[in-house]
């Protein structure tokens, strides 16, 4: 006698393991976004500008630092402020700094940190610098960042 045949049960697709993995992934991404956003909103950010060497090369020039803002130029270290009105005055600290660098053109150069409010002023300062044929490097920095120039930034690094 033959046994009555029972219909074979079709396998069922279960999505619960996939959905739990997806929910964990989304949760991890949300946590990552919150942490990064919290770090970006930190307005007390301090930035250090340091002249770096390329691998295998020695630096022959000493960097001098200025910060260009909307209301004037700050000479670092010492944070000497020069107003927009006194930029090209012969007695201004900026012109004196440019005179010093021009005399030591082979051993010094200028690095300018440019704030968003100082972009238009940067063109005028850059013209002053390039007229004297002084080497210039510049870096845009955010308006809210606090600038810190490393102590001893004027000293030449030891050459190997």
DSSP 13-62: P--HHHHHHHHHHHHHHHHHHHHHHHHHT-S--EEEE-PPPPTT----SE
Structure tokens at 149: 């120039």
User: What is d(CA 42, CA 20) in angstroms, rounded to the nearest whole number?
Assistant: 34
What's the pLDDT tens digit per position in 50-108?
666 555 555 678 888 999 998 899 988 888 888 888 888 888 898 899 999 989 888 88
CA distance 65 to 51: 10
- Please give the model's pTM, rounded to 2 decimal places: 0.60
What is the C-alpha end-to-end distance of the chain, expressed in Å? 98
- Residue extents of the structural domains in the chain: 16-47, 61-148
Is 94 in contact with 82 (CB distance < 8 Å)?
A: yes
> What pLDDT is recorded for position 158?
38
Report the alpha-carbon angle 67-53-155, nearest 5: 65
**What is the structure's pLDDT at 49?**
64
Contacts of 125 (CB under 8 A, 6+ apart): 66, 68, 73, 87, 94, 112
Of 95, 73, 98, residue with least CA distance to 83: 73
Average pLDDT score over the chain:
80
Of all residues in the chain, what percent carry a pLDDT higher than 70? 76
- Beta bridge pairs of residue 49: 149
**How do residues 7-22 score in pLDDT, each as one tens digit?**
677 777 776 788 888 8
| Confidence at residue 92, expressed as pLDDT on a 0 to 100 scale | 87
Angle at 141 between CA 135 and CA 147, to 5 degrees: 90
């Amino acid at each position: 006698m033959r046994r009555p045949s029972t219909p074979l049960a079709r396998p069922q697709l279960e999505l619960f393991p996939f959905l739990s993995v997806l929910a964990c992934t989304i949760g991890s991404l949300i946590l990552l976004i919150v942490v990064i956003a919290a770090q970006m909103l930190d307005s007390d950010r301090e930035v250090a500008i340091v002249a770096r060497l390329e691998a295998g090369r020695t630096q022959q020039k000493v960097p001098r630092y200025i910060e260009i803002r909307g209301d004037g130029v700050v000479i670092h270290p010492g944070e000497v402020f020069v107003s927009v009105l006194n930029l090209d005055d012969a007695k201004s600290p900026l012109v004196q700094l440019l005179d010093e660098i021009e005399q030591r053109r082979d051993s010094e150069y200028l690095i300018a940190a440019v704030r968003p409010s100082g972009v238009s002023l940067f063109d005028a300062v850059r013209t002053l610098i390039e007229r004297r044929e002084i080497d210039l490097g510049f870096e845009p920095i955010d308006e809210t960042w606090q600038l810190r120039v490393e102590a001893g930034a004027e000293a030449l690094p030891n050459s190997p």
